[in-house]
Amino acid sequence: MSMITRRVWTARADPRYNADVLGNLTDTLGVSIGCLVEDILLRGAKVCATERLLADQCLQLTIGDYNFTAPVRVIWTSDEDSGVAFSYGAHSAP
């Protein structure tokens, strides 16, 4: 492997948990986008949404199976997946 193509591996700051649960992302206008929450970390989640998300987009993530809702911001996106960061004040739904 060449030095150009080799990436330096660093350990994650937080453990990643495989979730594979259905969720919804809701924008500020109340439009809901279905998603598969693939992984959850302390600081965010990896999601596969039914529509392409935009970097810096602010949404509300709801995971009904976990009785969880939290404001999130899209921090990265690819053709299939997106990473969202939990905003301060993440909480379980009442």
Q: Could you state, in order of their start, the residue ranges of all structural domains in the chain?
A: 17-89
32-66: pLDDT as tens digits: 999 999 999 989 999 999 999 999 999 999 999 99
Q: What is the pTM of this model?
A: 0.78
| Separation of alpha carbons 35 and 55, rounded Å | 16
Say what the pLDDT of residue 63 is. Answer: 95
**CATH number given to 17-89:** 2.40.10.220
Q: Are 69 and 59 in contact (CB under 8 A)?
A: no
The mean per-residue pLDDT over the stretch 7-33 comes to 84
Cβ atoms of residues 54 and 73 within 8 Å? no
The pair of structure tokens assigned to 49 is 């949404």
